[in-house]
Amino acid sequence: MKSRIHLFSFLAVIGLGLTPAFAHEGVKNPAVKARMILMQEVKTSFGQIGQMAKGAVAFDAKDAQAAKARLLNASQAVVDKFQANETDPLSQAAPAIWKNWDDFVAKSTAFEAAIEVLDVSDLATLRGGMRAIGGGCMACHKAYKTD
C-alpha cells in the first residue's frame, strides 16, 4: 500500500511538471507559443511567491528571491514578446492589445515596477507587496486576455 502511495505521489509531481508543456501543444505560431510560455513563467513564479504569502508553503527568503527574480525577468520580456501582432487560434491575447498598445505597455510597465519594489526579505513585507502585483496581473488580464 505504501509503495502505491509513493508511486501516486511521484506520478502527480511529474504530471504537474508537464502541464505547461501540454498547455501549448496545439499552438502553431512560434511567436504566440513563445508568448504563452513566457506568460506561463509569470504565472508559475507569481504562484510560488503567492503560495508563500498565503502560508500554503513555508516562507523561505532565498526561494522567494529566486521566484521574484524569475518573475521580474519574465515581466521585462512581456512588451517585446507582444510587440508583433501575431495570432493563433489557441492564443488568449485579445486584439485590443495592439489597438491600445500604449495602455498595454503602461500596464506592463506598472506590473514590472511593482515586482521591482517587492520586498521578499520576510513574510510580512512579501504579503504587503502582493496586492500591487496581483492588481498588475488583473489590470492586463481584464483588458487584454480572452478566455
Q: What is the CATH number of the domain that holds 52?
A: 1.20.120.10
* Domain with 44 in it: 28-144
Q: What is the pLDDT of residues 70-116, one digit of tens each?
A: 999 999 999 999 999 999 999 999 999 999 999 999 999 999 999 99
Confidence of residue 23 (pLDDT cuts 50, 70, 90): low
Structural domain contains residue 47: yes
Check whether 21 has a pLDDT greater than 70.
no
Structural domain contains residue 94: yes
Predicted confidence at residue 16, as pLDDT, reads: 43
Q: What is the pLDDT of residues 104-133, one digit of tens each?
A: 999 999 999 999 999 999 999 999 999 999
Gap between the Cα atoms of 76 and 83, Å rounded: 13
Structural domain contains residue 22: no
Q: How many helices (H) and strands (E) does the chain have?
A: 6, 0
Structural domain contains residue 134: yes
Structural domain contains residue 17: no
Gap between the Cα atoms of 100 and 42, Å rounded: 22
Q: What is the mean pLDDT of residues 48-62?
A: 96
Give the range among 16-20, 57-61, 127-131 with minimum mean pLDDT. Answer: 16-20
Q: Would you say 22 and 82 are in contact if contact means Cβ atoms under 8 Å apart? A: no
Confidence of residue 14 (pLDDT cuts 50, 70, 90): very low
Predicted confidence at residue 61, as pLDDT, reads: 97
Predicted confidence at residue 15, as pLDDT, reads: 42
Structural domain contains residue 5: no
Structural domain contains residue 100: yes
Check whether 24 has a pLDDT greater than 90.
no
Q: Counting Cβ atoms within 10 Å, is residue 80 exposed (0-12), middle (13-18) or buried (19+)?
A: exposed
66: phi then psi, degrees, rounded to nearest 5: -65, -45
Q: Would you say 93 and 83 are in contact if contact means Cβ atoms under 8 Å apart? A: no
Structural domain contains residue 14: no
Quote the number of domains for the chain.
1
Q: Would you say 115 and 79 are in contact if contact means Cβ atoms under 8 Å apart? A: no
Predicted confidence at residue 25, as pLDDT, reads: 75
The DSSP call for residue 95 is T
